[in-house]
Amino acid sequence: MSTDPQQLLNSFRNQIDLTVTGLTLAVLGVFVLVRAAFPDWVANEFIPGVRGRMLDHFGPLFLILMVLFVLFAVAVIVGPWGDIRLGGQDATPTYSYPAYFAMFFSAGIAAGIVFWAPTEALFHFSSPAPFAGSGGESAAAAGAMQTVFFHWGISAWSAYVAIGIPIAYYAYNRGAPLRLSSLLLPFVGRDRLDHSAVKLVDVLAVFATIGGVGTSVGLVGGQFLSGVEYQWGIETSAVDTLIVVGGITIIFTVSVITGVKRGIRRIAGINVVLFVLMGLLTLVLGPTEYILTNGALAFVDYAVNFVGMSFAGVTSGADWYGAWTLFYWVWWFSWAPFAGLFLASISRGRTLRTVALTGVFASGFATLAWFAIVSNASLHAQTTGVVDILGLGGEFTLKDIAGFALYNALPLGELLVFLLLSLIVTWIVTSADTSTLVISIHGVKPGVAPGTAARAFWGLLQGTMAFGLIVVGGANALQSAAVITGGPIGIIALVGIVGLFYHFWGETRENVMAEPARE
């Protein structure tokens, strides 16, 4: 790895894809300029208006898309194509299975899992979803957990697999580059993947990733400091934000520069260890019987009513679906390019069945286990009067401090708060380093591995955008703009899986026709 600045600069110049990088920077530049010139209009009218019209007009389509992605994963698992090995039948996995799972699971969900676990169920408890049952406090608690499971369970993770599996197959078995635009290979051919119009798909992927993950770095930095202020009463400033965001940026940039094996894999391992430790401590120190009982009931309700919940919003125009389910679905879609492509990048040597099982069910059930523990502990604290979490807030945003309030009410509260802060950092770092790697892959010429300079450039750009937008305002607007890209990405993912099945069907037909006739 060269450290000479001139060599790094020359390498960056030789590797850069001018179309993808230039257009991405232009789009970000225009957004920043328009946001600076018309801050209120952009934040309060334009972006919310576009998002609202998109969800109003295409909401049923997005609900159906998510169901199709789940069915795609199931079809790969139970169907004959699940036996296909990425890289050929003689290919062997690059990483052990625990490392493989830890890296993808850590990349796909970020610190939102920490902030929303003690909070979202309380919102659904006080304002139940239209499909949730009624009948007293116990039913409301089970309905709240059922809703949380629906939003964070296998549906969310299936969006990543819908993009990851086709890209992985085309990359390792058909020689296509690891880029979102490779989903179009069956329709445009291998030779036309370099066309500028096709690369617009890659620009969409990079913008969505920077908008989703890059701004999350800044927002998580602010949430981290809000927790510190709430916990210890320490006043923080823009300088503290710079220190926190800058520190996170340095960590994930160094991680992505050192590579998957030395950087990303190790931090992901630490993250999963902290995740499991935190979950077990909450289960043991919290209301164990309540967690297990309500968690089991909610899971049964989730499994039994999964189909009904998935289609409930198709025929309903209720505001609730737009504010919750549809927003989540397009949010998962907007994260799918980087999470799906990262899944593809680490899956060489795995069968498609293993990729689908890991990407949807192993990751989905690990997420549900976490929410079952933390969300039920939060519900128990609220309903028994241990701590009125819903009554908190004031100068703080509820989701920023709910976890601190919950863990302060448990035994070993100081230790749990320390672990909570550590987990916030490791979750955002593991998403930011993998997203930086994926952006770097898109930002260089097809088939070229991004070098140190390219990885550093995109990592520092994400950190700079995060800090700048938090200080001057606009992070939420950019994040919302990234959510808007989720709609088109969902359509592209559908095109990708249709093309993959068409490709598989064509190969199967050719093989059958090539077989010698039997007497």
C-beta separation of 200 from 182 below 8 A: no
SS3 call for 132: coil
Question: For the chain, what are the domain ranges?
Answer: 5-512
Give tens-digit pLDDT for 159-191: 999 999 999 999 999 999 999 999 999 999 888
Please tell me the predicted confidence (pLDDT) of residue 235: 86
CA distance 305 to 60: 18
- Candidates 244, 246, 250, 248; CA nearest to 228 is 244
Lookup: tokens for 367 = 């997420």
Per-residue model confidence as pLDDT tens digits over 363-379: 999 999 999 999 999 99
3-class SS at 4? coil
pLDDT in tens, 244-287: 989 999 999 999 999 998 899 999 999 999 999 999 999 999 99
DSSP 412: T
Q: How many other C-beta atoms can be found within 10 angstroms of the C-beta atom of residue 279?
A: 19
Q: Is 313 helix (H, G, I), strand (E, B) or coil?
A: coil
Longest Cα pair distance anywhere in the chain, in angstroms? 85
Query: Where does the pLDDT of residue 519 fall: very low under 50, low under 70, confident under 90, or very high at 90 and above?
Result: very low
What pTM value is reported for the model?
0.92
Q: Check residue 2 and give its pLDDT.
A: 54
pLDDT tens digits, residue range 454-494?
999 999 998 888 887 777 766 677 778 888 899 999 999 99
Residue 57 has pLDDT above 50, yes or no: yes
pLDDT tens for residues 290-329?
A: 999 999 999 999 999 999 999 887 766 567 888 899 989 9
pLDDT tens-digit profile of 19-41?
999 999 999 889 888 888 888 89
- Residue 378's alpha-carbon distances to 129, 195, 328, in angstroms, are 18, 52, 21
Tell me which architecture the domain covering 5-512 has in CATH.
Up-down Bundle (1.20)
